[in-house]
Amino acid sequence: WEEERYPEGIKWKFLEHKGPVFAPPYEPLPENVKFYYDGKVMKLSTKAEEVATFFAKMLDHEYTTKEIFRKNFFKDWRKEMTSEEKSTITNLSKCDFTHMSQYFKAQTEARKQMSKEEKQKIKEENERLLKEYGYCVMDNHKERIANFKIEPPGLFRGRGNHPKMGMLKRRIMPEDIIINCSKDSKIPAPPPGHKWKEVRHDNKVTWLVSWTENIQGSIKYIMLNPSSRIKGEKDWQKYETARRLKKCVDKIRNQYREDWKSKEMKVRQRAVALYFIDKLALRAGNEKEEGETADTVGCCSLRVEHIKLHPELDGQEYVVEFDFLGKDSIRYYNKVPVEKRVFKNLQLFMENKQPEDDLFDRLNTSILNKHLQDLMEGLTAKVFRTYNASITLQQQLKELTNPDDNIPAKILSYNRANRAVAILCNHQRAPPKTFEKSMMNLQSKIDAKKEQLADARRELKSAKADAKVRRDEKSKKTVESKKKAVQRIEEQLMKLEVQATDREENKQIALGTSKLNYLDPRISVAWCKKWGIPIEKIYNKTQREKFAWAIDMAEEDYEF
C-alpha cells in the first residue's frame, strides 16, 4: 500500500502475462446420439451440430419455451447450416433434441459419479492452468488474474425479458483478441496458426486482454483479481469518496430542498430526482437504445406510468407508489411517503402527459451527473448509493447489537443490519430451489434438539433429587455435569433457532451484492474487532482476500 504513486492516470510501468485460455474446441457427438427432424434421423454438419447442442443442453430450461428465445435461436442457427440443411430444416417445432439432451444429462451424472482419482486429475489440470495463466507481473508484484479463461460459445440468456435472448454467442478466436502488456515484457504468443487482432502497450488502463462480444457489441475485459493491489486501492478510494460525501451531504440536502421551489422547471426536476436518489438509493438510469436491451429504467428515465400518487394511503399522507423494472430486470416496488413539496412537484411534472412520457422530461443522466460533479468532485448517483448503504449498516449495527448476546445472536444482528441495506438497495433473489427442503431439515434438527433438551432436564431433575438424599461428593458432581449438559444443549438449540430465523428472513433478499460492492468493509471489520467476533464469520476466504486492505487498516473505533 505504501509504495510510490505514479503520476495521474498512469496505472503501471511493467506488465507481463501469458494471454487468455481459450475454450476447448468442439467435440462432435458420438455416432449413436441422434438428431431427428420431422420424425426422421438427420446427420448435421459439425457447425450446425455444435449450435444444436447448445439448445439441447437447455431443453429443460424455461428459456427454450419462450417465443423470442426460439425465434432468435432459429435465425442464428440457420446461419451456421449448410444450404442443404437450410432447405430441409424450416421449422424449429419439428426438431427433436431429446436424444441429445439425454446424452448430456447422462454425461453430467457420470461426472458426479467420478472416482476420487479422476476428480484429482481434473483438479491438477486446473491448478496447472492457474499456475501458468492465472498470474501476471505488474510492476514488482506477482498478481492473480480474475478471469483468465474466455467464455465458451453458447446461447445468450440476458436478464429478464431481453429482446436478444437465444442469439448465438460466437466462439472467441485469437483474431478477436487485443493484448495489453508493456513493451519490455515477453509478449504472449498466440495459439499455433493464429495471430492476435492487436498488441498494445497502454499503461493508462488496467486490463490485460479485451475483445468485443457479438451480441450487444460490448467490450469484455480480462482484469486482475479483486485481491490485487490495483483493485484494492480502487475499492478503498470508492469508500473514501463516499466518506467525503458524508461531510457535505447536509449542504447538498438543503440545496436540493431549496431547488424544489425554483422558478426553473429543469432545476425542480433535477432536485426531485436527486431526492429520490438520496432517499431511496435509486440508480441514475442511463438512456438506452430501444429494442436493443430489456426495458429497464432508473431515476432519470422514469416514465409517468411508473409512479402513482396517493394524497393519502394506509394512514400516511403524500405517498408515491413506484413500480418499474430496474437494472437486470429486477422489479422495484415501493410505497413511500414523501414531503409535501415533492408530491406537489410530481403532480406538476405529470400534468398533460401520457403514461409513456418521461417523468423528468428536462433531465438526463449527463445533466444530473454534471450537477453532482459541481456539488462535490467525484460525486455520482452511485456514490449516494454507497454512502447511504454504508451509513445504514453502521447505524443499524449500533442499534441492533446487544453487548450481552452470544456470538450466534450477534451474527444474526449483523445479518439483520445487512438485510436493511439490501432492502434499501432493492437487492432481491428468487427463493432458493432447495429452500423448503433445507428449512424442513433444519426444523427436524430443532425438534430433535428440543427432545434432547427435555431428556437432559429430566436427568438433571432426578440427579438433584438423588443428591438431596445422598448428600455426597459424587452425586454433587453428577448434578454439576448434568447442569452443564443442559446449558450446552440450550446453546446448541438457540444456535439452530437463530439459523432458522436468519434463513427465513433471508429467503428473498440477496445480501452478497451490497456486502461486496456497497458496504465499506472497515465498518464490518471494526464491528468484529469490537465484539470479538472472528472475521471469518462475516467474510469468507475470497472476501477476506478482497478486503485485506480493510482488515489491515481498521481498528475497532473506526467510524465511516
At 286, is the pLDDT very low, low, confident or very high (cuts 50, 70, 90)?
confident
Beta strands in 205-268 (DSSP E): 209-212, 219-222
Q: Does residue 177 surpass a pLDDT of 80? A: yes
Q: pLDDT band at residue 174, thresholds of 50, 70 and 90?
A: very high
The one catalytic residue in 133, 239, 275, 518 is 518
Q: How far is it, in rounded angstroms, from Cα 329 to Cα 326?
A: 5
Q: Report the Cα 283 to chain-centroid distance in Å.
A: 15
Q: Does the pLDDT value for residue 253 go beyond 90?
A: yes
**Structure confidence at residue 3 (pLDDT):** 58
pLDDT for the residue numbered 296: 86
* Whether pLDDT at 169 is above 70: yes
Residues 6+ apart with CB under 8 A from 374: none
pLDDT of residue 57: 94
Average of per-residue pLDDT across 80-86: 94
Contact 531, 515 (CB under 8 A): no
Sheet holding 95-96, edge to edge: 40-41, 36-37, 95-96
* Mean pLDDT in residue range 182-187: 94
Which residues share a beta bridge with 179? Answer: 199, 209
> What is the pLDDT, as a whole number, of residue 290?
61
Does the structure show a pLDDT above 60 at 105?
yes
Residue-wise pLDDT tens digits, 386-421: 999 999 999 999 999 988 888 888 988 998 898 888
Domains, the chain, with CATH or none? 15-22+119-225 (2.170.11.10), 35-113 (1.10.10.41), 231-378 (3.90.15.10), 389-553 (1.10.132.10)
pLDDT score of 287 more than 80: no
Least confident of 103-112, 164-173, 393-402, 510-519: 510-519
Query: Does residue 33 carry a pLDDT above 90?
Result: yes
Rounded distance, CA 101 to CA 57, Å? 6
Query: What per-residue confidence (pLDDT) applies to 292?
Result: 64
Evaluate if residue 288 carries a pLDDT over 70. no
Query: In the prediction, which pLDDT does 247 show?
Result: 92
Alpha-carbon gap, residue 253 to 464, rounded angstroms: 66
Secondary structure of residue 389 in the 3-state scheme = helix
pLDDT, tens only, 326-377: 887 888 888 999 999 999 999 999 999 999 999 999 998 888 989 999 999 9
Determine the Cα–Cα distance for residues 257 and 341; give it in Å rounded to an integer. 9
CA distance 549 to 542: 13
CA of residue 222 relative to chain centroid, distance:
18
Query: What is the mean predicted confidence (pLDDT) over 204-217?
Result: 92
Residues 6+ apart with CB under 8 A from 425: 281, 385, 389, 513, 514, 518
β-bridge pairing 36-37 and 154-155: unpaired
The SS3 assignment for 435 reads helix
Closest by CA position to 422, among listed 511, 493, 484: 511
Minimum mean pLDDT range among 237-246, 356-365, 420-429: 420-429
pLDDT of the residue at 325: 87
Q: Which residues pair with 506 in a beta bridge?
A: none
The C-alpha cell that represents 30 in the structure block: 458420438
Q: How confident is the model at residue 209 (pLDDT cuts 50, 70, 90)?
A: very high
The CA-based angle 522-528-534, given to 5 degrees, is 125
pLDDT for 534 equals: 93
Q: What is the mean pLDDT of residues 481-508?
A: 86
258 — pLDDT class (breaks 50, 70, 90):
very high
* Closest to 478 measured CA to CA, from 525, 419, 470, 244: 470
**Side-by-side strand order, sheet with 135-138:** 15-16, 135-138, 141-144
pLDDT given for residue 472 in this prediction? 85
- How far is the C-alpha of 370 from the C-alpha of 266, rounded, in Å? 14
pLDDT attached to residue 508 = 78
pLDDT bracket for residue 512 (50, 70, 90): confident
Q: Which of 70-74, 111-115, 270-274 has the lowest mean pLDDT?
A: 111-115
Give the distance from CA 154 to its chain's centroid.
22
Amino acid identity for residue 206 in this structure: T
Cell triple for residue 304?
A: 409517468
pLDDT band at residue 466 under the 50/70/90 scheme: confident
- 377 burial class (0-12, 13-18, 19+ CB within 10 angstroms)? exposed
Structure confidence at residue 294 as a pLDDT band (50, 70, 90): confident
Cell of 213: 462480444
pLDDT at 462 > cutoff 70: yes
H helices of 262-339, in order, are 265-280
Q: Among 117-121, 239-243, 421-425, 536-540, where is mean pLDDT lowest?
A: 421-425
Instruction: Quote the pLDDT of residue 36.
Output: 93
Q: Reply yes or no on whether the pLDDT at 291 is more than 70.
A: no
116 Cβ neighbours under 8 A, 6+ residues apart: none
**Band of pLDDT at residue 5, cut at 50, 70 and 90:** low
Does 518 qualify as catalytic in the annotation?
A: yes
Say if residue 52 is exposed, middle or buried (CB neighbours under 10 Å; 0-12, 13-18, 19+): buried
Note the pTM of the prediction, 2 decimals: 0.78
Residue 304 has a pLDDT of 94
